[in-house]
Structure 1
Amino acid sequence: MRVGVIGAGVAGLATAKVLSQAGHEVRVFDKCPDVGGVWSRTRRYPGVTTQSPKAQYSLSDFPMPKDYPEWPSGAQVQAYFAAYATEFGLDPALRLDTEVTAASPVGDGRWTLRTREAGGSVAGTESTEEFDRLVVANGVFCEPLVPAYPGVDEFTAAGGRLSAGTEFDDAEQARGRHVLIVGYGKSACDIAVAISGVAAGTDVIARQLLWKVPRRIGGFLNFKMLLLTRMGEGLFRYLRPRGFEKFLHGPGNRLRRRMINSIGSVSVRQFGLAELGLIPAGHMEDIVRGAIGLASEGFFEGVQAGSITVHRDTTITRLSAADDGPTAELADGTTLRADLVVCATGFAQGVPFLPEDTQARLFDERGNFMLYRQILPLGIPGLYFNGYNSSFFSPLNAEMAALWIAADLAGAVARPAPEAMRQAVVEQLAFMDDATDTHHCRGTKIIPFSMHNVDEVLGDLDLNISRAVRATHWLNPVNPAAYRRMTRSLLRQLAPGQSKADSADRPPALLG
């Protein structure tokens, strides 16, 4: 088939690689000038690194370079994905600097894409192409959310600037300026650390404090040993608990709670949160109800040193101007000088290129994506999603979803009846509503149930790594490399003896 893929981030690249190896003709469109999605040079904020260590953020059959640090920088991650595209022959399939402005179904599962060149000498040129199937991989972090503050015109007239975090790509923009950073997630704290050495003032406006997990708990134990294992995932109750999980959430519940909340106690002591007045409400086990955040190196040290100021439990109510320049008024009555306001306030999960009637079938009444296995929209022929399964192991989850798509294109997935699939999606969303207090990004975040999703997707394909290897992942960090033969196994099932399938598991070249 001829398959169109919207998005050249990790999900789009993994989809293109697997489908190409399965014999399909693939075209990948992205409005950025380079691959990588959120890691594109046009979207990286200062100080950005991965939230998961490099081994856990790698694709199964293409390890990150040995000389990369454990938490690679944004530039290093982008270079890694660019090398992945080259290694697996995807470069000819890429249509970068090309925005998909409309995707329309034309019957029998086929789609027409209308595109517009976004850069170069042909900027503005429009084209139309038809595809047998379409994969949406534009990412759940595609459009930054910037609050609509009252007074923004007055604020900008006085010289103030309002920016999304992904639009703030150079710390020098903050030199000598009073900067307010809205948010308390990893990106907000990363930016605060990156600019605190050059800004005249760095203030973080936190509507709600979140629990932060140290990279090294107690200064020596890597957090991946606790939270990036199957045991760590099992500490959070899943919709369908299995095996030892039933003990953890039954007779062992007290032990389970002590295990996870002890991380919070260590964090309080390690970061001096009591002295800084920054202990979040609730307990560490509540992290999944807000956001599981890795602590930014240097953030709490900056607060201690006075180079970063956190205004907790408040919001900006109005942007304004005073005699000495632009200002921001906070809900607690404080007024702050604000030459630059950077909003690290999340993203909209949007598909504006799809027709309104298609979108009406895609969402439930609350705006959640109705996706079976986070992949298949219900009742929309020829359309798939990948990357709508944000997790600690996003590359691995995207790769396994690509296998599911390849199998479904070949008619090798035994789909349940439509009503059964709908019921499964409804139950999953209801469960995530409770597990995350509705903080699941309209149904696109699967943290902390990443490996449950992997197991369910592979279960549909009658594939998985051995029970013995999965058992080692209970106490050791999940290693995506353990899944490197899954593509080869699937392709052999779909087309025995095909040369492309036999070469799919070749040893990859390392960067550097």
Structure 2
Amino acid sequence: MRIAVVGAGFAGLSAAKVLRQSGFHVTVFEKAPDVGGVWSRTRRYPGLRTQNDKGTYHLSDLPMPARYPQWPTGKQVQEYLEHYVDMFGLGTALRLSTEVVSAELLDDETGWLLASRPAGGGDPVTMERYDHLVVANGIFCDPLVPSFPGAEDFTAAGGRVLPAGEFHDLAAARGKNVVIVGYGKSSCDVAIPVSDVAARTHVVARELLWKMPRKLGGALNYKYLLLTRMGEALFRYITLKGFERFLHGPGNGLRRGMLDSVGSVATRQLKLRELGLVPNGSFQDIARSTVSLVTEGFFERVADGRISVHRDRTISDLLVDDGRPAARLADGTVLAADLVICGTGFRQHVPFFDDALHARLQDDAGNFMLYRQILPIDVPHLTFAGYNSSFFSPLSAEMAAVWTAAYLRGGITPPPVDRMREEVRARVAWMAARTGGRHARGTNVIPFSMHNIDEVLDELGLNLGRLARARQWLLPVDPRSYRRVTARMIRRTADEGATGRAEPAPARRAAP
């Protein structure tokens, strides 16, 4: 079976490694000139670091190097992935600087026709047939930059608007008035180096998020809270099991007290009240969809005036003020703005699929309808990798690749179509309700990273034993605990289906 993987970040590379070890012929397409996805040198902004510590942010069979700092830089993560390619001999499968222009199902829906070309629009276009397609382009592949009124005159006056991932040259901010839009990780990260060189640095935040100190109270590493099963269990999952029933039943007061205490400690430690930056809403409410690790030095620079935060504000339009580019906020405030950097999120879509195919993948609200965050219900010979953004994104993507390999080897038969569709609809509705719509079109499983991994591996009969999972309740999850899962899957499926056999019968699309 010939398999095409589109994307060479954590998801695409781990999918390629697992599928090749499972006996498939794999080709990986990547538009960038290097591997890494969001960590590629083409997308790294100054100040980029991981949110997870190096002990929890890696693939199962290759830990981060001991020489790396606790929170590796973007460059170090990319180098780690280069080493992963070398270690598992993936170089021959890679087609870097190659853009997939389109992917179309064959008329008889027995495979895919991929059109690719050199990145940047060069010729020629190459057409190739594949038996199966793995989409690993990432849910953070397409920056969402607002369409600001007045942008044309603003640009003509010398102003620039760009997403954070396209801001690579710090010299472009030297001596300039810079407005950074957003309050998530990328916005706060980039604000630090910008404030070192810019004349003025403004952060415009529509809504404040809770920021987690790396060490709560200056002593407890945050990984012992959020990167454990206990931390995950503090939030109510769609179904409750075991100790979760106690936490969300008789122990609800204790659970709420633990979450409220996190917000209180963060408020005191970061001096949010003095800075006027206490978020609207409890830690529990906001952390349902996103938690951001504090960028070291951010609040200190707010305190000393090097960074100005305009909370609960948006940019209403861009303009030219007294001959200089500027940005006007919704409250009428006008800020000098030579450079506007947007950390305003991403659009979740597959750029090489046409509208008709998207319609088969998504519901009427644009949510991806994926069983286990992997398998489309109405499109055959297609799986997704990395469409389960979580606190353990590398591990989540790798376990999704194991599920895909088992599926293609005949080691798993998904439930009937109607049951899968009902389950996915219920889950997406729950995700949308609990996050207030901030569920990245059904791809964001935060904070339920381990629940997602458990469901994938339980269905395969490959989950860790009870003792190993019990340790994860109090200790941060170590991806190395899962390093034998791929080999176990290959052994288990060896007698259940011939490697590279015809793909299981696809789910047929139901009538509207």
Determine the structure 1 residue equivalent to 2:80. 80
1:340-419 equivalence runs, <5 A: 340-419=339-418
CA RMSD of aligned residues (A): 1.4
- Structure 2, unmatched stretches of 5+, are 500-512
SS at match of 2:405: helix
Deviating runs (4+, > 3 A) in structure 1?
none
**Alignment check: 8 A CA contact 1:113 1:129 kept:** yes
Say yes or no: does 1:14 pair with 2:37: no
Q: Render the CA deviation track for 1:168-219: whole Å, top value 9, x for unaligned.
A: 0122211000000000001100010111010000000000011111111111
Q: CA deviation at 1:352?
A: 2.4
Change (3 A) 1:462 1:290: closer
CA distance in 2, matches of 1:309, 1:361: 45
CA distance in 1, matches of 2:316, 2:27: 45
Q: CA deviation at 1:123?
A: 3.5
1:267-286 equivalence runs, <5 A: 267-286=266-285
Determine the structure 1 residue equivalent to 2:506. none
Q: Render the CA deviation track for 1:206-264: whole Å, top value 9, x for unaligned.
A: 00011111111111110000010000000000001110000000000010011011111
1:103-502 equivalence runs, <5 A: 103-106=103-106, 107-118=108-119, 123-495=122-494
Determine the structure 1 residue equivalent to 2:509. none
CA distance in 2, matches of 1:290, 1:381: 31
SS at match of 1:487: helix
CA distance in 1, matches of 2:246, 2:319: 56
SS at match of 1:34: coil
Q: Render the CA deviation track for 1:412-443: whole Å, top value 9, x for unaligned.
A: 11210000000110111111112211111000
Q: CA deviation at 1:124?
A: 2.8
CA distance in 1, matches of 2:272, 2:115: 52
**Alignment check: 8 A CA contact 2:288 2:446 kept:** no
SS at match of 2:284: helix
Determine the structure 1 residue equivalent to 2:504. none
Q: Which moved more, 1:335-344 or 1:123-132?
A: 123-132
Q: Which amino acid aligns with 2:117?
A: R
CA distance in 2, matches of 1:115, 1:454: 33
Q: Render the CA deviation track for 1:130-173: whole Å, top value 9, x for unaligned.
A: 11100000000010011000000110111100111111012221
1:3-82 equivalence runs, <5 A: 3-82=3-82
- Structure 1, unmatched stretches of 5+, are 501-512
Q: CA deviation at 1:324?
A: 4.3
**Alignment check: 8 A CA contact 2:411 2:492 kept:** no
Q: CA deviation at 1:14?
A: 0.6
**Alignment check: 8 A CA contact 1:224 1:477 kept:** yes
Q: CA deviation at 1:108?
A: 4.4
Q: Which amino acid aligns with 2:287?
A: V
Q: Render the CA deviation track for 1:61-105: whole Å, top value 9, x for unaligned.
A: 111100101110000000001110111010000011000000011
SS at match of 2:69: coil
**Alignment check: 8 A CA contact 2:211 2:291 kept:** yes
Q: Which moved more, 1:122-131 or 1:406-415?
A: 122-131
CA distance in 2, matches of 1:170, 1:419: 51
Q: Which amino acid aligns with 1:446?
A: V
Q: Which amino acid aligns with 1:299?
A: F
CA distance in 1, matches of 2:132, 2:289: 36
CA distance in 1, matches of 2:240, 2:170: 45
**Alignment check: 8 A CA contact 1:112 1:131 kept:** yes
TM-score (norm 2): 0.95
**Alignment check: 8 A CA contact 1:10 1:398 kept:** yes
Q: Which amino acid aligns with 1:158?
A: A
Determine the structure 2 residue equivalent to 1:95. 95
Q: CA deviation at 1:357?
A: 2.0
Q: CA deviation at 1:493?
A: 1.1
CA distance in 2, matches of 1:485, 1:18: 11
CA distance in 1, matches of 2:491, 2:437: 40
SS at match of 1:68: coil
**Alignment check: 8 A CA contact 1:210 1:290 kept:** no
CA distance in 1, matches of 2:10, 2:358: 24
CA distance in 2, matches of 1:399, 1:157: 46
Q: Render the CA deviation track for 1:361-390: whole Å, top value 9, x for unaligned.
A: 101010000000000011211011111000
Q: CA deviation at 1:312?
A: 0.5
Change (3 A) 1:290 1:420: closer
SS at match of 1:163: strand
TM-score (norm 1): 0.95
Q: CA deviation at 1:332?
A: 1.1
